[in-house]
A and B are shown apart, each in its own frame.
Chain A
């Protein structure tokens, strides 16, 4: 393979073009991931693409107050480290100043003098010496402005924050509670129906298949009002997990039956007839022959349904409601988007938690996913 790469201009342009497209497709997600791992102050003040570079930032702090002064050789001295008490912890001082407009007036190691004889010396490591000929009066410390270069720094703090205090952790478990049965139940129901529609002798088979295909494109939104009324009337379904499982099952069934039926109908006829002659009833044929042989199709539908349910917002809002103990990840993220619209550290970390599971599922089972897509689309759906 490697020998075939020749860097003639047109090949080079081809590689470059694809690289560019891939970059365009991955950068938005990369931005999210990188940001979610950055310090919240950094997210708000510098682009995520600078995360790996050392940034220079201006910081404002105060010296210690008068109580820290000591008298040395007739002068009163307050000494300490500028980084104490600042969020940075440690760092290097690139420059400092005494006025907000000029935080980079003095180089580290030099001394800034104030009008009344006070002076301030700041070293590169942040240690300072603030002196005065007369005793410092009581009150807060002197304001100091300095430029510091911040080395790249990553933290998982955003994640622990959203998981435990923004309700994302609970929503994660809720999402799983919704998604797992809402994936398995339709597979079972659809597989049985698909087998019946593919191989069993029943009246109106063709008609039923047409109905399923027709329902493939019915907009989900159509169903919401009638179902909501039905749920409210029934009492036991509204705002319960059972209710949302059944809703996702109902909405997923047309595609599931369609996909599985076309796969199962493609299994060799002889196998099924041979099992019939061998005296297996249809339930046994389904369990022993159809299920094992349909694994690829079952897997690909499972991935579809999993992604669809996990990523769904609409059905969750309508059928599960908005009480905090049942909300799912997408809902939680959407409401954070409303209430914490500017807090990118919360949004990025929450968003990444919501997309990590589908990404894992997707990458580990991509083969089946693609196969299912192809079966579902190329064959005429």
Chain B
């Protein structure tokens, strides 16, 4: 009743009915792999919800940050849970983005006309990772302080502008009095707003261009479920499942126990330090990077510049430009509304598997110190091992994956041919049927 009145109110003034009807009738995909992106979306919702709460109890200054975190964590179970759920949501958020990106990559959903959506998605991954890193740094504990010190060194290594950029961020030498306030504004304002904007564009494009699908449809019909009520209920279920999982993690498993890490002082360096998982590959790259110091135009460039700045930039460019690289390789630029099964393009499976392996090796390298203690071997031996695995292991895994995909494709094609074999059915004496090769009589 009230709904109808509200509806009429808006319709008479804005003519909104047609639009509402359009939205309600819009079709959404129901393939399981299309929910991966929604996990990320709902993790972000949880991040904003818990993050807003945290802004009321956190004190963004070098003097107060750590103490305020300990205070609100200890004061109420709610404070503890909010912080835990916030951090777990961040960890799961980026995992969901990566899984979603993998789905889009391996099914070639990034093809024309969806290249822009792909680029926006990659930007979302980068922004989310930076947001995560700044958030990890805010409690100002010894673990994240060590991470910030490393990030500061990488920033300083940029030729010509490094010193200036680091000064700007720190508001003086490291760790400057403005470092935590700056990180705070970046973390609670600039980056979340950027994520919100990117997300709006990303989803707007998905809405506007319609989703891809596995069914090859000759009549260009989009297959899916209506927004209302089918899809609404589904996506609500996905929201509650996601929220439930991150809340359970928050309630049951302790994350980032800063109380045990202690407050950061710049004379303390944690030896067994590593960042959150999504930044670990960068730490690993720093640990594996060669100890070379070249000069560029007489300007010394520290060794951390290559693994710390150049490698991630190259990786970013490779991923952002993938739709165009893919086009160049396949020499095809027609509209790709129909998804391809991953095995259809074994070479793409190979490239993807190699990139994933490279990332995993670098991530493992970020814990080499702890592995060394656990296995009682020298850290330097592990560094050598990972230096070998990074290029050669990646290539090997890529090749094996491509071969397996080709094998799968071949056996699928074989089975398909089997299924389509034409036979002639002939009545036999018992009243049943016998299959016969056609024209074999």
B and A form one assembly = no
Chain B residues in the interface with A (C-beta under 8 A):
none
